[in-house]
Amino acid sequence: MDVIALCRNYREVHRALLPRLLAHHLGRRLRSRGSASSSIPPPLSPGWLRDEVLTLGQFTADWFSVNISHLYPALSGMTRPFRRYLEIGCYEGLSTVWFGAFLRRSCSAPELVCIDPFAGYPQPGEQRGTQVEANFDANISRFLGDLSITKINKPSLTALPALIETAEVFDVVYVDGSHRSLDVMTDAVLAWRLLADRGLMIFDDYLWAPRGEADRPLPAVNAFLDLLDGRCRAIDCYHQAIIEKLR
Ligand SMILES: C[S@@+](CC[C@H](N)C(=O)[O-])C[C@H]1O[C@@H](n2cnc3c(N)ncnc32)[C@H](O)[C@@H]1O
């Protein structure tokens, strides 16, 4: 493995995240994909999501299951209890269903808050129209009907300040709404105020760069990490970036 070449490829990756990214690539060389996810219990494994959830639910896309082999150890290793989950950008609810299934196993009264304006805010490759929200509702009712889920049908720019106003606190925030740099930065700054100490913030699509698109999450996450200046710890970096809030 040529680590220098790898670093060159990922020269934009934030210095705090780069060691995790290198460890991810070296780890992939050393173990097969199968053994990496074999320690994940069946109700949370990528296979379960594909065989049960995607087959039985109303989904048109799976952007999520590839992340499970990283998310599961990150959540399992949290040093504070995980009970309250905030998701920015839910689409048809695939990530929501998985986090809900994780919480169902790990705590007794989980609460999930999901922000998405649904129709009218499509990202590349997403469907438009009201069917996305209808699918989200059907999937949540089918797979998480026993849990406390609050759906906020608004853009994050409106929804997050309202949550700050009512002094909400979350243990995990999943940032997967608009992928435009300034929107990701805005979501990060606002959601940071809602995140508990030792809570996790997860940025989806950190390395996403369709056709060299400059307006994407990576520059925003890097700038945000610079602003935090030691108030967070890198937990993992692959296609997503996961950080822990220290203070
Ligand atoms: C990539 S999809 C989310 C996928 C989902 N988390 C999953 O893994 O299955 C992005 C979502 O962000 C939503 N979105 C776009 N702009 C937003 C905004 N300003 N605030 C909140 N959500 C937004 C879109 O409506 C879309 O449903």
Question: Is 3.40.50.150 the CATH number for 3-245?
Answer: yes
Question: Angle at CA 26, nearest 5°, toward 24 and 29?
Answer: 110
Q: How far apart are CA 15 and CA 147, in angstroms?
A: 39
Q: What is the pLDDT at residue 34?
A: 47
Contacts of 50 (CB under 8 A, 6+ apart): 62, 65
Q: Is 177 in the pocket of ligand 1 (CB under 6 A)?
A: yes
Q: How far apart are CA 74 and CA 241, in angstroms?
A: 11
Taking only the tens of pLDDT, the chain with its 247 residues reads 566 666 677 789 999 999 999 998 888 777 655 445 568 998 899 999 999 999 999 999 999 999 999 999 999 999 999 999 999 999 999 999 999 999 999 999 999 999 999 976 666 666 667 899 999 999 999 999 999 999 999 999 999 999 999 999 999 999 999 999 999 999 999 999 999 999 999 999 999 988 777 899 999 999 999 999 889 999 999 999 999 999 9
What is the number of H-type helices and E-type strands within the chain?
11, 7
CA of 146 to the centre of ligand 1 (A): 24
Q: What is the CA radius of gyration of the chain?
A: 17
Q: How far apart are CA 244 and CA 5, in angstroms?
A: 28
* In contact, 7 and 22? CB cutoff 8 Å: yes
* In contact, 21 and 240? CB cutoff 8 Å: no
CA of 232 to the centre of ligand 1 (A): 25
Per-domain boundaries in the chain: 3-245
- For ligand 1, mutation pick of 121, 133, 158 (most atoms within 8 Å of CB): 121
Q: Is 136 in the pocket of ligand 1 (CB under 6 A)?
A: no
The tokens for 101 are 């299934």
Q: At what angle do helices 217-228 and 181-192 cross, to 10 degrees?
A: 40
* In contact, 26 and 6? CB cutoff 8 Å: no
Q: Of 44, 70, 40, nearest to 53 (Cα)?
A: 44
Three-state DSSP class for 17? coil
Q: What is the pLDDT at residue 4?
A: 64
Closest ligand 1 atom number to CA of residue 205: 1
CA of 89 to the centre of ligand 1 (A): 3
- Using CA positions, which residue lies closest to atom 6 of ligand 1? 90
Contacts of 51 (CB under 8 A, 6+ apart): none
Q: Is 60 in the pocket of ligand 1 (CB under 6 A)?
A: no
